A and B are shown apart, each in its own frame.
Chain A
């Protein structure tokens, strides 16, 4: 019963979250981004800015874990559900038959019967080392690297970089068919790898996690995942838990063999709750109904489990909680230093030979420092940007910021009125902006190089840059022979990249946007009074 409910909820959550990552047409309601928002570590990282929001999400998830166990890991975490699917496939008979047949064909021998794995010893040191590294990484603004093991983001990257191109491909095939019948409601999408690094990492994650799940069940969740470590520790003291009823148990060992987390030691009738993901499989598989989901403090007849470790881990957990506030303090400090280095760099950057030297962080990122400390590179913004200007970074932000979102104006430019990326970011790495706030957010500043301009070089009309400029920070002014030439005003520039996107000059554009390490405020544009001119004649 519990198991069936768990499977149903997990399917809904994973399906909605994945579909939202894949969707490009607005088919999936915007509301579905909540499935991304209700993820544990992203919410923890979003802590400092929308404190209340974060407290609600983190608090609720911790409270649920405290009450009912690690059901987050089985229902909400997409990476957990992904592994469950792999494990489910692994247990299908037809797949086993197929792999046996394949083995016979290739190796000429049947597969040796593998010894079934029951209980495994916990890899406590690995878990805590990973969690510590994660915390240190985040504090020092290396979120890009440490988020390789953050389960939601790792899954989201797989969805965006592997599943989405497949989805687009099918869309394009469908579109071709429908278009040939004169139905234009579908449209084609360009399929391209926005960043080879992100693609490689996603494929590697996909392969490694699939392999681990296939061979060792939920071993990623038990020994690597930082969320798993934190929630597992809470799970040790949770109110409801699986209990082995000794009076009913026949020591058949079926539960231990079926357990995805390999955490049931049926010999000693112990369950390692720090690894149990509350999948409820054991309850269903126990033929004598000896495993029950019960309140912990109900009776004394239940054998206390892993007494040796409990205290130790709890202590560790409390220590971890104590570290978290450090994030807040450290952040304020780093912001100051970040600002200082920017002014130092800013002076030098004026002397460049005309290519962007400072990467442009998406709107709402506040500063490179803020982004680097909050973003776990889930790439939801990359997937959702309608203008396709957000792409994963290579080394633009340095090693610690790999794969974090950076603006690239090759495929398009940032729509003046669009705020979608800031609304959906689950980590608050991109803070929500209203349309009015975005109109005044300067993510970079325009740079114009006269010597390269078509109007100057060829003495021919162009004006493509000014055409695309929403604030007229690039304005065409009279030049000579009836020609007009761009004139820039960086104070009202928002750095949308319209000018850079459309500038036809190659290999180096005549106009581009230089990033700002700390986003600045643009001067509001002056709007002239509208004159109610009356035209009474045709004029010819």
Chain B
């Protein structure tokens, strides 16, 4: 970002805040990720976009289309000529029906819309757990992304990562982040909703582990705090989209068989990373009891001021299809 664009955005952000206060909108949460661009989108829509959108009952692509329309379309977030990163969960060498990775149809649709909105390029990657090429291919994401006009980027080598500082973090004060994230204009976080043996649940916040090179550090130094620390990254995802079309209820995050998978047919979308995860976790509680206080990184994230767990106070839009 050069000085001119920086100044511009500071001015624009200031203006947005003023507009917000005059409009007597209740701003319950500090929305760090609120950008000038997003405000423009809302203004174009003529209404105030919801804080959180929850959709049920459609196909992954259709649910995304409904939800993004509530925010004024993808062009609210993605501008012409921008470099975009879409970061799904591609952690495992699993086929889509086993719900180990984000739904390829959803990822494909997001990439397609970003391209249609005039993005210069859309890059997709994940630092996988299983051998990366098998993950990219067998998850169906490689094919879906390429078909939609996006690019898959490798993340298998340390040289793709650059170290940054995390000044607001409690434990993990620095991390090596994938260059695609550091070099892009905007990025979209697209996790899949899964049970997780260690972190209890894996959703938007946990998905940020896939942009970091050394994941052992998280496990060795207090997983729940490190996940929240990672989310204090300056360059936050513009949007978090939790894929709950298929939900892994047990044996996660890898899963043993199709018996671990429940058909959720839902999707949650928000700029607030803590709120969207709270909503998804509450949805998950209908499948299996999972106390929110056990999912430590949610409270830790709230303490960092990354968002709110109190979703009842938010402007939530519920859509059934």
Contacts and interface: CB of A to CB of B under 8 A. Distances in A.
B2 interface: no
Interface string A473-495: 00110000010100000000000
B131 A535 contact: no
B9 interface: no
B220 A484 contact: no
The 6 closest A-B pairs by CB, nearest first: A463-B198, A504-B220, A187-B154, A476-B197, A463-B197, A482-B294
B291 interface: yes
A263 B242 CA distance: 75
A471 B256 contact: yes
B63 to A, nearest CB: 13
B198 A537 contact: no
A189 B56 CA distance: 42
Contacts of A475: 197, 251
Contacts of B12: none
B48 interface: no
Nearest to A461: B223
Contacts of B131: 386-387, 412, 415, 418
Nearest to A540: B282
Interface string B121-164: 10100000111011000000000000000011110111110000
Interface string B253-290: 11011110111111000000000001100111111000
B196 interface: yes
Given A467-B197, A471-B256, A539-B283, A460 B291 contact: no
B139 to A, nearest CB: 13
Nearest to A469: B254
Contacts of B291: 482
Nearest to B316: A540
Interface stretch (A120-128, A235-243, A331-339, A524-532): A524-532
B152 A538 contact: no
A184 interface: yes
Contact of B257 (A417, A461, A462, A527): A527
A472 interface: yes
A535 B259 contact: no
Interface string B284-306: 11110001011010000000000
Contact of A460 (B56, B153, B154, B223): B223
Given A504-B216, A504-B219, A538-B282, 12 more contacts: A182-B151, A184-B154, A190-B158, A386-B131, A417-B134, A472-B256, A484-B197, A502-B215, A533-B287, A538-B56, A539-B286, A540-B316
Contacts of A460: 221-224
A528 to B, nearest CB: 4
A387 B219 CA distance: 22
8 contacts: A184-B153, A190-B157, A386-B134, A484-B198, A505-B220, A527-B257, A530-B261, A540-B54
Contacts of B198: 461-464, 466-467, 476, 484
A124 B193 CA distance: 71
B197 A539 contact: no
A470 interface: yes
Contact of B130 (A190, A415, A504, A527): A415
Interface residues of B, number: 62
A258 B311 CA distance: 88
Contacts of B243: none
Contact of A188 (B157, B254, B286, B312): B157
A505 B220 CA distance: 7
Interface of B: 54, 56, 93, 121, 123, 129-131, 133-134, 151-154, 156-160, 196-200, 215-217, 219-224, 251, 253-254, 256-259, 261-266, 278-279, 282-287, 291, 293-294, 296, 311-312, 316, 318
Nearest to B152: A184
A25 to B, nearest CB: 8
Main secondary structure, interface of B, reads: mixed
Contacts of B283: 535, 538-540
A454 interface: yes
Nearest to B268: A538
A525 B256 contact: yes
A6 interface: no
Interface in A367-388: 386-387
A101 interface: no
A460 B278 CA distance: 21
A468 interface: yes
A186 to B, nearest CB: 8
Contacts of B157: 187-190
- Which has the most chain A C-beta neighbours within 10 Å: B130, B216, B223, B257? B130
Nearest to B94: A417
Interface residues of A, number: 48
Interface string A407-441: 00000100111100000000000000000000000
B121 A182 contact: yes
Contact of B258 (A184, A190, A530, A533): A530
Given A415-B130, A504-B219, A470 B254 contact: yes
Contact of B134 (A189, A418, A463, A504): A418
Interface string A155-184: 000000000000000000000000000101
A212 B296 CA distance: 67
Contacts of A527: 256-257, 259
A204 B130 CA distance: 36
Nearest to B57: A536
A461 B296 contact: yes
Contact of B133 (A386, A467, A505): A386
A458 interface: yes
B256 A458 contact: no
B273 to A, nearest CB: 16
A412 B215 CA distance: 13
Contacts of A386: 131, 133-134
- Which has the most chain B C-beta neighbours within 10 Å: A454, A460, A528, A540? A540
A526 to B, nearest CB: 9
Contacts of A537: 286
A504 B157 CA distance: 19
Nearest to B130: A415
Contacts of A412: 131
Given A184-B153, A188-B154, A535 B266 contact: yes
B256 A467 contact: no
Contacts of A464: 198, 215-216, 219
B156 to A, nearest CB: 6
Contacts of B285: 539
Contacts of B284: 539
A132 B216 CA distance: 51
A482 B223 CA distance: 14
Contacts of A461: 198-200, 222-224, 296
Contacts of B264: 535
A32 B134 CA distance: 21
A59 B224 CA distance: 63
B282 A539 contact: yes
A188 B159 contact: yes
Interface string A182-205: 101001111000000000000000
A390 to B, nearest CB: 13
B145 to A, nearest CB: 11
A210 B27 CA distance: 77
B160 A188 contact: yes
Nearest to B224: A461
